[in-house]
């Protein structure tokens, strides 16, 4: 399929779709081509302006490559060392690890470390006794479950050791 930019003598521009260049020549010779605006049959082929087809050309950035580059430059993840952790087990994919490390960093940057007082602070915040903010800390499985039962949004999260140390 060929798409030609066509125009009449009145400079009306339009597109013509043809099976081939020969098909265009044939239709032109037979007088099948006419301007859709003024019905002129004085049709000429215009120099084809570059057709910017953003839809077809936009390709996804190579997310995998950049993610893997980040992962390789980052501190090796301690995922393997924490063999007892369900959270990181199996996330061997480098892109996943990079995303995970980035997420963990954001959590660290946007939360206050309340350590062992986590369950207590989470309740205070939930019930309006303490300032609304993001916190992180340690909680037992039982504490976490009871917080969840009270409707308090908590997220069990095993932070990579590599991220914990530089902040202290």
Residues of this chain that interact with Zn ion (CB under 5 A) are 8, 10, 12, 35, 37-38, 40
Least CB distance from residue 4 to Zn ion, whole Å? 15
Least CB distance from residue 62 to Zn ion, whole Å? 46
Q: Closest CB to Zn ion among 13 and 76? A: 13
Residue 34 CA: distances (Å) to CA of 21, 143, 148: 17, 79, 72
Do 4 and 37 form a contact (C-beta atoms < 8 A)? no
Tell me how far apart the alpha carbons of residues 95 and 100 are, in angstroms, rounded to a whole number.
8
* 3-state secondary structure (DSSP) of residue 113: strand
Q: Closest CB to Zn ion among 36 and 134? A: 36
Tell me how far apart the alpha carbons of residues 108 and 4 are, in angstroms, rounded to a whole number.
58
Q: Closest CB to Zn ion among 40 and 146? A: 40
Tell me how far apart the alpha carbons of residues 78 and 97 are, in angstroms, rounded to a whole number.
10
Least CB distance from residue 98 to Zn ion, whole Å? 57
Least CB distance from residue 20 to Zn ion, whole Å? 24
Least CB distance from residue 46 to Zn ion, whole Å? 12
Q: Closest CB to Zn ion among 27 and 68? A: 27
Q: Which two tokens stand for residue 98?
A: 């990079």
* Helices assigned H by DSSP within 30-93: 54-57, 63-73
Q: Closest CB to Zn ion among 6 and 67? A: 6
Strand spans (E) along 42-134: 44-45, 112-115
């Amino acid at each position: 399929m060929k798409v030609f930019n066509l125009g009449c003598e009145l400079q009306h521009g339009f597109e013509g779709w043809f099976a081939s260049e020969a098909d265009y020549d044939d239709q032109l010779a037979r007088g099948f081509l006419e301007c859709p605006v003024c019905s002129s049959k004085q049709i000429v082929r215009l120099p084809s302006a570059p057709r910017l087809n953003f839809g077809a050309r936009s390709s996804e950035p190579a997310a995998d490559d950049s993610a893997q580059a980040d992962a390789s430059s980052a501190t090796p993840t301690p995922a393997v060392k924490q063999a007892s952790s369900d959270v990181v087990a199996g996330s061997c994919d480098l892109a996943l690890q990079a995303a995970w490390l980035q997420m963990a960093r954001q959590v660290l940057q946007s939360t206050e470390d309340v350590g062992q007082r986590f369950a207590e602070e989470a309740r205070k915040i939930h019930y309006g006794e303490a300032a609304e903010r993001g916190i992180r800390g340690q909680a037992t499985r039982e504490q976490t479950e009871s917080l969840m039962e009270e409707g308090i949004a908590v997220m069990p999260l095993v932070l990579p050791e590599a991220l914990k140390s530089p902040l202290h």
